[in-house]
Structure 1
Amino acid sequence: MGFKCGIIGLPNVGKSTLFNLLTKGNSAVANFPFCTIKPNVGVVPVIDERINHLAKIVSPQKIVHAFIEFIDIAGLVKGASKGEGLGNQFLSNIRETHAIAHVVRCFKNDNITHIYNQVQPSKDIDIINTELILSDFDLCEKTILQLQKKKALKNNEIEKKINVLKKCINHLTEFFMLKTLHLNEEEKKLISYLRFLTLKPTMYIANINEEKESYYFLDELNNIAKKENAIVIPIYENLELDLVKMNNEEQKYFMKAFNIKTLALNNIISAGYKLLNLITFFTVGIKEIRAWAILNGSTSIQAAHKIHSDFSKGFIRAQIVKYIDFIKYKSEAKIKEMGKFRIEGKQYYIKDGDIIHFLFNV
């Protein structure tokens, strides 16, 4: 299963341009609404310097980075929850994702139309969030009715689900996102199968330019995000488009000359990784060093299954070396000598940076 982050926003805010930057792909970009009809899906590597440090020691034949999927979803408009602008189709696409990157236009440009003829981040965000809330309200209402028909079965779990959904619908009625509703882990688990849009972790991508007004809009967006405990990542899309077209030497020179410490794209990918609550473990060998993305809190048996389902079936044990120990001692013999080589069973919780060798029955 891939970890998916959906790129959403109003039409003409820069979603497809961002997708192209992330994937160096060929998503359609045009100055009119609904340029993207079917969602574009791109597999984006997560750059992790640790894998390069490991490679210097091992000199593998191949290096494989962890990855996440970014999905470019067509622009939403007012009434999307009622089918406007092919809204139901697009909302369904968002529901299939695990996290959301909400692109907000924070610049004025008379050559690029705004679907509502006014650039105002707070209003744009409110339009999108309202449609997400209405869609979740509709799903919540329908699910309660379906479950109430099953109450005759006297199933205790059905009763629990109905109670949680009633809490949700009351919150949605007030036009609040479900992520601001205090649900415990059991309650979240009971309704997780519904994939509520307003429960998905979200980051805001501020598409800005060099004009002063752009920074005013960015401040407005930061204030909104602060209330939601969300992060904001500013990006000069046009500048980064130029940068990604350069070769490595040109890019380094330009970034140094203009004091650009890191590409916003890398920040977005890293933020998406954190938003999805992922950590990385490594498998290391002469043939290949590979970084694996896995949910924080996963066990060694789940990590084994991530590599291959047969690994989890025949799992015996996992040999664990911490990344810092591998870098420090540089050989398996020295690691063992220093007592840094550990044997763990099925219920060991994977830590970020663990280097794992699985032993299993064929």
Structure 2
Amino acid sequence: MKVLLVGEFSRLHNSLKEGLQELGHEVSIVGHQDGFKNYPIDYPIKKKWDSGILKKIKVGIHLLSGFDVSSYLTYKQFKKNKNHFSGFDVVQLINENSFYCNYFHEKRILKFLFSNNSKTFLLSCGYDYLNVKYCFENPSYKSVIQAYLLGRISTKSVENVLKFKTKSFKKLHQFIYSNIKGIIASDMDYHFPLLQNPKYLGLIPNPINTNKIDFKPLEIEDKIIVFHGINEANYHKKGNDFFEKALKIIESKYGDKVEIITTQDVPYAAYINSYNKAHILLDQTYACDQGYNALEAMAKGKVVFTGAEHLFMEHYKLTEKVAVNAIADVDYLVNELSLLIENPNEIIAIGKRARAFIKKEHDYIKIAERYLETWRTS
């Protein structure tokens, strides 16, 4: 099978590509290289006029005329290389805005892909029109929208989420849905908003290539090491403000018993190794299930503070923790961290269960097989 994966912002498509290649399929990735993360892309598209004086000029042009220079330049790059993007058995979009363009230029790119390939599928592994709509209609559902509605996050912080409420993105959503064979969710956060959707094909967990992730059972000899990696662009959306406040209390409470490592905007290749010596990793507070960073850390056997709600536990029929459910509450986070620091054997036990869980539920070849079956039968 010849497969084109469109977009990459978490390593999901790279791991899926590796699994598909192991099974003998031909796979390419096209998309933007996601800022400082710098994931591998076969056909990279560069974000242009996106910083410095050119960005200011771009904003001025948009204010005066409504013309989006960056979208136009992305379209031009795609068009120049369009011969590479036809004749595929399957095209999979990572998002409803995979090319980060405005409606006009995104539609032109997608129209080419829809017209020149056999089947197209959409992933729901981040916010999109239906997910955002569901979160606003169900404010008790744990998400960044819940935090926004509670006033914890500014409008500016979630502009790239709120855009899916606009008329142009609703039109883009409708155009995509009229052309795809179906939509696949990558975890529980995106599963529930799609349950009543006729094009929903089900949840396929994120693929993790554990062959590339070393596992060493945790050992605690002296200090308990807590790692907090910050992506500045998602600072409030991940709940980093709550983690930082909790860590100050933990540092004051336990002193020399703990070591806290904090990084900011580290490239992926460096990030994945920057927490090797840590026992505990702080990921995010506004999720029901784990995202990609959390899963990779769990594959290393770390105790991860992330989404691990009862819905997640029920879905995978878990009776013991494989991660610590994190919420946007400083006292709660301090309490959960304290329990681990005072019970180091539990850290070791959770770390082992985390690795076993990833091997069982997220193996990249098993996940690739599930994608193939879904694509073939849809």
TM-score (norm 2): 0.29
Which structure: larger Rg?
A: 1
